[in-house]
Every structure is written in structure tokens, then in C-alpha cells.
Amino acid sequence: MDPVRNPYAPGAGQRPPELAGRDHELRQFEVTLERVAAGRPERSMVLSGLRGVGKTVLLNALRSVAVKRAWGTGKIEARPEQSLRLPLAQALHTAVREVGHRHRDPERVDAVAGVLKSFALQTRVEDRRSSRWQPALSIGTDVAAIKGRADSGDLELDMIELFTDVADLAGDLGVGIALFIDEMQDVAVPELGALCGACHEISQQGAPLVVVGAGLPHLPVTLATSKSYAERLFRYVSVDRLPREMADRALLVPAGSENVDYERAALDELYRLTDGYPYFVQAYGKVTWDVALGTPIRLADVQEAAPEAEGELATGFFGARYDRATPAERDYMRAVAMLGANNEDGSVTTAQVGDSLGRRPQSLSPARDGLIKKGLIYSSERGTVAFTVPHFGQFLRQRN
């Protein structure tokens, strides 16, 4: 069929033609925003799940919900080894601009921009070296910094003052500020603790500001180590693979708008191959469409497309990640893949990995830590590890 009309969208953060199975979260978020704007107690939110399940896409959809309600919004993609301070200032600057131009009192808006600037000016020297450091440009404000507000150098205290001021500004308009943080597991633990502290304070004040984070499955555990009360501070939402009905929807709705249908057996086979993982649904859907001669898409089309789709995943989704690992890390991953073959979630203990490689677990710590840093494995229970990428074990087992 015409590849130009192919509706499927495999890719990191690519908005799917049909966001299947997330209605509940979207509705729930509307309630959250209304409650926060009304000054009612409400928790911030954390999405967690494996690679490719649709966290970024959901985060963006939630942001759209906030934008529709005229909230000020900003987004950060956290990176290892980078402090939150500058990206936070940039994201909140975007949010302030969104509400600022509707505000009746330009002096008040400038005052908040001045606080943002003084917050940003505390950026550590290491982080300033990055090409993005240009105070005037990067936070886009020509107002003077306001000394003595959000500039103590203590991230938690500064965040509290900054959050309070931006939330108050939005509050003047009957709305709030929503801050979105993707790849949140990459925020250093002390900074996560500071963020929790600031969220805690802000929610006690009833100020209209919410944080929505997204990250890998161990994010809730990491948050809990950063502050003991993190467990109660956030509403944790696990973003998972789609149940059969929703995976079918993700394929059928976009096809339907091009007047294309699927045979039942084709959908059965697609679910067997994709397990309902959103990235795989898009990837297999795309190749199948290109292979199929017309409507309805048949089982034979799926069977013909499967090796090609698998090949694309092997080089892109899996291969690119495998290539980032060092030889020692690859040995470690192969051991995890072999040991995890027989259990549902593929998780294995570090002791088992040590045994199978004939090494003491401590001597394998550098490989394990390296893989965690690279976001290839995670550990949400002490002494166990699992792949962050669905079907990664299967990929490695087939490789040798």
C-alpha cells in the first residue's frame, strides 16, 4: 500500500496516530489540574515504565491538557551529570511567558522573570561551560536579576522561592504551572531530594504548581532513596504495554481513517509479535502496511513483514543500545539474557550473574553500574537487575 499514506509512527517521542489506552490517565490529570487550581490538596505525578512503552508521548499529551486549560507549562529532559538548575530555569521561563502575556500587571511579570534570572545565575561553573549557558539568551530575559530571591545557592531553598513566585503569578490568572521532567531517573539523587523537598513545601502552601515526571521502572525507588516521604508525595503511574484491545485500537483506528481494515488473524499475529509494546506496535504496523497489497491487511502480510520489522528493530532499537556497551558490559548483558530466559519479567539476581560468569559480584559492579547509567538495565529491588528494553533478552539470546 501507498507508503506515503502509512499512518504509523515508530520513533522516540513520536506522537502516535492514536494514543491508545491512556484515556484514564488523561482524564485523571484534568481532575488534578482542576483541584490544584482550586487550591485543593493534590499530589504530583510520576510515570514509570520500560523503554518504548510511551512515557514521553504520554507526558507530551498531559502537557497538551495543561496548555488547553491555559496553564503555563515547561519541560525538561534530564541528563546524567547535568544539574537541574539551568534546564529548570529555562522550562519555567517558557511557562512564565505563556502566562505572562495575559497578565494585567507587567511589573509583576518582570519581577518573576528577575527571580528566574537570579535563580539561573547560580548555575555551577561546570554547567556554564556547556554551549547552552548564556544567561540572557538561554532564559531569554533582559530584566535585571532580583538579588536575594531564589539565589542562595541551595537548590531546594531556591526552588521553593522560585516555584512559589511562578505559581503565584499563574494563580493571579486562576491557572497554575505544570512542570514536566522526562528521563527523571537521570537527575542526581541529591537534586531529586531537593525537588521532592520543594514539591512538598509547595503542596503544603497550596500553591498551584504540579510536577509530572517520567522515567525508567526504578524511578520510584530512586525517589524513595532521595527523600523518605517521596512515596507519599507523588501519585505513581506505571506505564505498561497495551492490553490486546488497546493494541488493536492503536492499529485499527489510524488504518480506518485511511479506509483500511485488518483480518482478525493478522491482528492475532501482530499481538503475538509485539506483546502490545507500543513501540513494537508502531514498528510492525508500519512495515506491514508497506508490504500489504490492499485492504484488509492479511496474516500473510504480517508474516512477510515480520523479518523486515525484526531486522529494523535489531539494528535500531536493540543494536544501537548494544553498541553503546563496553565488552565487559556486553558479557554482563549476555549473562542476564541467558539467566532471565525463563522468568516472566526477565529479572535476575546479581549473585546469579556472578556465578554464571565465574566472578565475584563485587568485581562486576563497574559493569552493572555502567549499564544502569546507560539506561540499559535497572534495579528496582536490591540485588536484582533486569533489562529496561522489552524483548532485549530475547534479542541477545538470538544473537549468539
Ligand X SMILES: Nc1ncnc2c1ncn2[C@@H]1O[C@H](COP(=O)(O)OP(=O)(O)OP(=O)(O)O)[C@@H](O)[C@H]1O
Between 56 and 75, how does the x/- string for binding to Mg ion read (CB under 5 A)? x-------------------
What residue 21 binds from ligand X, Mg ion, none (CB within 5 to 8 A, per partner kind)?
A: ligand X
* Of residues 114 and 213, the one with the C-beta less far from Mg ion: 213
* Of residues 19 and 179, the one with the C-beta less far from ligand X: 19
Residue 284 near residue 15, CB atoms below 8 Å: no
84-115 residues labelled b (16+ CB within 10 A) or e (exposed)? bbbbbbbbbbebbebbbeebeeeeebbbbbbb
CB of 79 to ligand X, least distance (A): 13
Question: By CB under 6 A, is residue 22 in contact with ligand X?
Answer: yes
What residue 16 binds from Mg ion, ligand X, none (CB within 5 to 8 A, per partner kind)?
A: ligand X
* Of residues 166 and 246, the one with the C-beta less far from ligand X: 246
- Interface residue with ligand X, options 1, 20, 145, 209 (CB under 6 A): 20
What residue 320 binds from ligand X, Mg ion, none (CB within 5 to 8 A, per partner kind)?
A: none
What residue 213 binds from ligand X, Mg ion, none (CB within 5 to 8 A, per partner kind)?
A: none
Between 45 and 64, how does the x/- string for binding to ligand X read (CB under 6 A)? ----x-xxxxxxx-------
How far is the CA of 46 from the CAs of 24, 177, 209, 239, in angstroms? 15, 16, 14, 10
* Of residues 176 and 285, the one with the C-beta less far from ligand X: 285
Residue 21 near residue 148, CB atoms below 8 Å: no
What pairs with residue 47 in β-bridges? Answer: 214, 237
Residue 47 near residue 58, CB atoms below 8 Å: yes
- Interface residue with ligand X, options 1, 6, 7, 16 (CB under 6 A): 16
CB of 347 to ligand X, least distance (A): 18
Q: How far apart are CA 119 and CA 85, in angstroms?
A: 8
* Of residues 216 and 335, the one with the C-beta less far from Mg ion: 216
Q: By beta-carbon distance, which residue lies closest to ligand X? A: 54
Q: What angle do CA 221, 223, 227 make, to 5 degrees?
A: 120
Q: How far apart are CA 372 and CA 225, in angstroms?
A: 16
| 236, three cell numbers | 505513581
Q: How far apart are CA 100 and CA 175, in angstroms?
A: 12
Per CB under 6 A, which region of 11-19, 133-141, 170-178, 351-359 contacts ligand X? Answer: 11-19
Per CB under 5 A, which region of 51-59, 89-97, 110-118, 281-289 contacts Mg ion? Answer: 51-59
Question: By CB under 6 A, is residue 21 in contact with ligand X?
Answer: yes
Per CB under 6 A, which region of 5-13, 71-79, 133-141, 187-195 contacts ligand X? Answer: 5-13
Q: For ligand X, how many residues bind (rule: CB under 6 A)?
A: 24
CB of 255 to Mg ion, least distance (A): 25
Q: Which of 308, 368, 374, 360 is nearest to 336 (CA)?
A: 368
Q: Which of 55, 99, 52, 49 is nearest to 74 (CA)?
A: 99
How far is the CA of 183 from the CAs of 91, 130, 135, 219, 247, in angstroms? 15, 19, 24, 9, 25
**DSSP state letters, 224-267:** HHH-TTHHHHEEEEE--PPPHHHHHHHHHHHHHTTT--B-HHHH
* Of residues 56 and 122, the one with the C-beta less far from ligand X: 56
CB of 204 to ligand X, least distance (A): 31
CB of 62 to ligand X, least distance (A): 12
CB of 139 to Mg ion, least distance (A): 25
258-297: contacts with ligand X (CB under 6 A): 278-279, 281-282
What element of type H or E holds 213?
strand 209-215
Q: Interface residues with Mg ion (CB under 5 A)?
A: 56
